[in-house]
Structures are given as structure tokens and as C-alpha cells.
A and B are shown apart, each in its own frame.
Chain A
């Protein structure tokens, strides 16, 4: 069908209205920008140099694996580049390397310092290190990427599940609806955490298991909205008109109903994102989340709680979490206002 891919004037109008809410608009840019930047965290915080010159040859360790032997070492393993830089052999070979702005990865412990970790913020570690000497800032940046990827994937998966299942219920109605509704109620009654622990102990903890289990519960709320919208819309005259023209179910669902039903879903999505970030952090905090040593905010919070005498750990994690959730809330608020512009009109 022609023109379905170009945004309707309604959508354009909504985007225009969104842009007129500075708080929401700026939050979207900041959070979006931070997310795009975080996709390149390996170029921002990494203990492998971006570029390395040795023996007249060029190396890019941040992107590629090189064994120690390439730089005159003995083993086929990856070198510790920080140690390598200081090694006499490397210097003798007129080696030179360029580190990212934060020359520490999220996993590597810096145990070169004489005092035991955690280290307070210093020139070397802007936000200090955690209890096993890992750079807090580097873990924050990498943790943000994991967190956002998780939350965005959760939004996508639960939106698809919620739309499809809620849509089927609302469109089919009757027995299909009732049966699915009862099944959903049973499903929703399962304790989320038990399912997660159970599956985690069978298949091992991983990003994908975590995402699947969380999404398997997250879509339910969305499907209620979709069911309601489909119920309302399927009896609208334009749907009857389309049937009178001889349109099949697919055409009616995808062309007539779905575009009109998406409004409430879109207003919920930013809040699903918030829920995703919150869930992952909470699970990590409790120790049911991503397996160590993955960089994670929840794990940092946990450490901060255990080591209150090192306030930089808890403070960094809390500040990062607070800022992210606040930005996402502002976006959500803006989206909601765009979909209900009447909230601005005033009666006296």
C-alpha cells in the first residue's frame, strides 16, 4: 500500500509537539547520545590500546587479538598491555601505544598500586576503583551499555509479545480471548524470581536467559492495553466498512486496527524501559543477574553497600542510576503529554 512507510501527519505533528517540550526533548538527546556513545565503550574505556606501533608494524589491539609473541613475549596469550608498555624489551623495540581516554577495562583489576583496593578517586582512576581494583568509571560505562541494551531489547520483545497476544485476544474475542486471558492469569501468578533462579540453575546465568525470563513477564501489562484497544477498534465503522469491501483478517488487523491501536503502547514504552533498567539492576544487586565479572550497576551498588567507607563506589552507581532513570522518566512524561495534549488546556 502506498505511503504506509512515510510518517502520517499525525505522527509528524506529535514529533513536533514532543520537540516543544524542552525537558523531554533534551532528555531524549542526552540519553540517546549516551547510548550511542556507549556502543563504542571499548574505544572509551579499555585496557587494550587503540593503536600500537612495534618494530615498524601497526597493531590495533582494541579491535583485534594479538599474542604476546607479536611483541617479543614468550606466550601465545594476550599481553597485559600496561605491563608491556613498561617492559624493557618493548621499549628497546621502540614500541609506542595509544590508550583510550580511560585506559582501564571493566574487568581488569589494577593491582599495580602498593596500597590494597579499593582506591579512592585519583588522577589515574577518576571515580576510584572497586574492592578488587577495577576502575569504577570503566565499569559504569560498560555497565550502562549492558543495561541499555537489556532494557531496549526488553522493550522490543515485550512490545511484540504484548501487541500480538493482546491483539489476537481483542480481535478474536469470545472463547479465544477468555482462554488466553485465563492462561495469562496463571502465567502472571508464577513467581518471577523463582522462575529466573530455576532457569538460571539449569541453563546457567546469561544475558539471553535473563532477557527471555524478564520479557516473558513484562509483556502482560502491555497486552491488556492492546486487548482493550483491539476490542474498541474492531467494532468501529471504518473496520466494518473495510469488511464490507471484502478485506481479509490480515488487512484489517495490520492496516485498519494496528496503526490506531499503537498510541497507548507507545506511551508505555519509556516506562517499560525504566522497568527494564530497574529490574536488571535489582537482579544484579541480589546476585541473580548477569554472571560475574560482567560490568553491572547492580553489582556496583552491592559493593557500595558492603563498603560504605568507600563512598565513591555507591555514590557513582547511585548517581548514574538516578540520572538515567530521571532522563527516561522525562522522556516518558513528554510522550504521554504528546498523546494527551488536552492536559494543557485550562478551565476556570
Chain B
């Protein structure tokens, strides 16, 4: 891992959304760093604020309704909130690229795969002259066979797993410094899930990428991430190296989240569930 300042530093980030009465803080005082070349997993249930945090990194949250209450996001040493519109555009894709949960809706159905990747390359790497070659290279990178042929396909002609590979290829074509994968496998079949995770693993080692993986499932974290952040109700309740968090979770929520996953070959019986009241009691009150 590189030394020096982290690639991403989030400090005291608080984001609120208008609620029924008073605004609701979806993210509360969240701070974390991601070093260059590191893979960090952010684990939490829906509503824990993990996706909101991830989207806010490149200011992708619509505002209004989102309201940035406080905090700082420093990417590559620069304050994301202070960026001028052109700088912000180059940050998106070029600095931070995203892969989302639903590959089917993330790709524009009326354009062929190649024109969508080409757009990304043109935007972020104006120096590239042979765009077609670059498209083939990026599709090849994500393990799509016959890339020169497949790049002429429309998104609906591809399976869900293939679509997600295209999304990853598109994200990588911009040569981002940080790849944010927001539940990249949740919408996919288990066998495809594994393929996509294997692909990300391989790409990470080949390209020395920095990855932020957002997920609700501890299962896919264990052999993937260097470090884990556990989010619960807008806060980070625990963070640390994956191994030690999994082996010796300190926060009751983390323990509960690990325990409730059904395991193959385990004795049948009741699954453990999360006792929210107990966890609430364990949370520091603000």
C-alpha cells in the first residue's frame, strides 16, 4: 500500500433529507479514509446511509432534497464541495467511477455498448485516438469474449452478468482513481455474483485499483476487502481490518449482521436475528 495522504478522506459528513416533519439525518458524522490501492467494504442494511454516503463522494446526490449539513470530502487532496462544475465533471468518472446495482437500468437501452463506452473515453481521456481499440481492450479486460463483436450489441442483448461486466468496463475505461461498486452483485444470480466478484478481484490485482464496495452481505466481504466499515442508522459503528472485524466483531450490530447469514451445512434451526433494541442501547447517544 502507498504511503502518504489517503486517496479519499471523509470527515464528519452529515447529510439530511426532508422527512415527514423535521429533516432526517441519513448520514451522521461519518468519517473514514481510503488509502491508495486499498479495498474497503462498507457494510450495512438498507437505510443505513451507505448508498447516500457513496453517492455524495462525487456529489451525485440531488440537492435539494439532500442537504449537506456539515463535513468535508477530500479526494486526492482536493475539497469535493469546492470544485467548479468542469472540475466536478472530470472528477466523476475520471476520479471516482461508479458501478451500480441494476446493470439493466444503468445502461442506456437505445445505444450500442460501444457508443456508451466511447462516450466515457472521449469525456475523460481526450488523448486517446483509437477509441475502438480502447473499447475492445476494456471489454477484453472484463472477460467478455469476442469483444469486437459484442461491442456492437445493445444492452438488452446481453445477460445481467454481461451487462454488469460492461458497466465495469465502462467505469474502468475512464481509468478512475477510485471505483465505487454499489451493491454490484445484489441483482444477479449467485453463480453470476461469484463471477463478477472474481472479476473485480482479478482487476484489482492487475490494475492496482482502489475500490469501495458497498454491500449488505458480509458473505462477499470476507475474502475481498482489506478493511470493513460497518454502517448502522447513518453512523459508522465499527471499522477495522476485515479479518479482525469478522473474527472478533466489537460492536453488537456487527456481530448480529455476521450471525444472521445462513451457512451451508449448518445445523437446521432458527437463524439468529438482529435485536435492534439491544443495539440501540449500545449506541452512544448524541
Touch A–B, Cβ below 8 Å: yes
Chain A residues in the interface with B (C-beta under 8 A): 344-348
8 tightest A-B CB contacts, nearest first? A345-B62, A347-B62, A345-B64, A345-B65, A346-B62, A346-B64, A346-B63, A348-B59
What would 4 more interface pairs be, CB under 8 Å, given A345-B65, A347-B62, A348-B85?
A345-B62, A346-B62, A346-B64, A347-B63
A-B interface contact total, Cβ < 8 Å: 15
| Cβ–Cβ < 8 Å partners of A345 in chain B | 62-65
Alpha-carbon distance A299/B62, docked complex (angstroms): 51
For A347, give the chain B residue with the smallest CB separation: B62
Which among B62, B64, B85, B88 has the greatest number of chain A C-beta atoms within 10 A?
Answer: B62
For B66, give the chain A residue with the smallest CB separation: A345
For the complex, is B24 an interface residue (Cβ under 8 Å from A)?
no
- Cβ contact within 8 Å between B64 and A344: yes
| Cβ–Cβ < 8 Å partners of A346 in chain B | 62-64
For the complex, is B133 an interface residue (Cβ under 8 Å from A)?
no
- What are 15 A-to-B residue pairs whose CB atoms are below 8 Å? A344-B64, A345-B62, A345-B63, A345-B64, A345-B65, A346-B62, A346-B63, A346-B64, A347-B60, A347-B62, A347-B63, A348-B59, A348-B63, A348-B85, A348-B88
- How close is B38's CB to chain A, nearest CB, in angstroms? 28
- How close is A12's CB to chain B, nearest CB, in angstroms? 13
Number of interface residues of B (CB under 8 A): 8
For B63, give the chain A residue with the smallest CB separation: A346
Alpha-carbon distance A348/B60, docked complex (angstroms): 7
When each residue 228-243 of chain B gets 1 if its CB lies under 8 Å from chain A and 0 otherwise, what string results?
A: 0000000000000000
- How close is A283's CB to chain B, nearest CB, in angstroms? 41
For B65, give the chain A residue with the smallest CB separation: A345
| Cβ–Cβ < 8 Å partners of A347 in chain B | 60, 62-63
| Cβ–Cβ < 8 Å partners of A344 in chain B | 64
When each residue 39-75 of chain B gets 1 if its CB lies under 8 Å from chain A and 0 otherwise, what string results?
A: 0000000000000000000011011110000000000
For B59, give the chain A residue with the smallest CB separation: A348
- How close is A329's CB to chain B, nearest CB, in angstroms? 26
For A348, give the chain B residue with the smallest CB separation: B59
Alpha-carbon distance A344/B62, docked complex (angstroms): 10
When each residue 73-109 of chain B gets 1 if its CB lies under 8 Å from chain A and 0 otherwise, what string results?
A: 0000000000001001000000000000000000000
Alpha-carbon distance A346/B88, docked complex (angstroms): 15
- How close is B155's CB to chain A, nearest CB, in angstroms? 20
Alpha-carbon distance A347/B85, docked complex (angstroms): 11
Alpha-carbon distance A348/B62, docked complex (angstroms): 7
Alpha-carbon distance A344/B66, docked complex (angstroms): 12
| Cβ–Cβ < 8 Å partners of B88 in chain A | 348
- How close is A344's CB to chain B, nearest CB, in angstroms? 7
- How close is A182's CB to chain B, nearest CB, in angstroms? 28
Alpha-carbon distance A151/B45, docked complex (angstroms): 52
Alpha-carbon distance A84/B88, docked complex (angstroms): 82
Alpha-carbon distance A347/B60, docked complex (angstroms): 7
For A341, give the chain B residue with the smallest CB separation: B65
Alpha-carbon distance A346/B85, docked complex (angstroms): 14
Alpha-carbon distance A347/B65, docked complex (angstroms): 10
- How close is A245's CB to chain B, nearest CB, in angstroms? 28
Alpha-carbon distance A106/B65, docked complex (angstroms): 53
For A345, give the chain B residue with the smallest CB separation: B62
- How close is A35's CB to chain B, nearest CB, in angstroms? 35
- How close is B2's CB to chain A, nearest CB, in angstroms? 31
| Cβ–Cβ < 8 Å partners of B60 in chain A | 347
Alpha-carbon distance A37/B244, docked complex (angstroms): 77
| Cβ–Cβ < 8 Å partners of B65 in chain A | 345
| Cβ–Cβ < 8 Å partners of B64 in chain A | 344-346
Alpha-carbon distance A348/B61, docked complex (angstroms): 8
| Cβ–Cβ < 8 Å partners of B62 in chain A | 345-347
Alpha-carbon distance A62/B62, docked complex (angstroms): 60
| Cβ–Cβ < 8 Å partners of A348 in chain B | 59, 63, 85, 88
- How close is A217's CB to chain B, nearest CB, in angstroms? 32
- How close is B130's CB to chain A, nearest CB, in angstroms? 33
- How close is B285's CB to chain A, nearest CB, in angstroms? 32
Alpha-carbon distance A321/B85, docked complex (angstroms): 45
Alpha-carbon distance A14/B96, docked complex (angstroms): 37
- How close is B60's CB to chain A, nearest CB, in angstroms? 7
Alpha-carbon distance A241/B205, docked complex (angstroms): 47
- How close is A219's CB to chain B, nearest CB, in angstroms? 31
Alpha-carbon distance A344/B64, docked complex (angstroms): 8
Alpha-carbon distance A344/B65, docked complex (angstroms): 9
Alpha-carbon distance A347/B88, docked complex (angstroms): 12
- How close is A46's CB to chain B, nearest CB, in angstroms? 52
- How close is A224's CB to chain B, nearest CB, in angstroms? 21
- How close is B62's CB to chain A, nearest CB, in angstroms? 4
Alpha-carbon distance A345/B60, docked complex (angstroms): 12
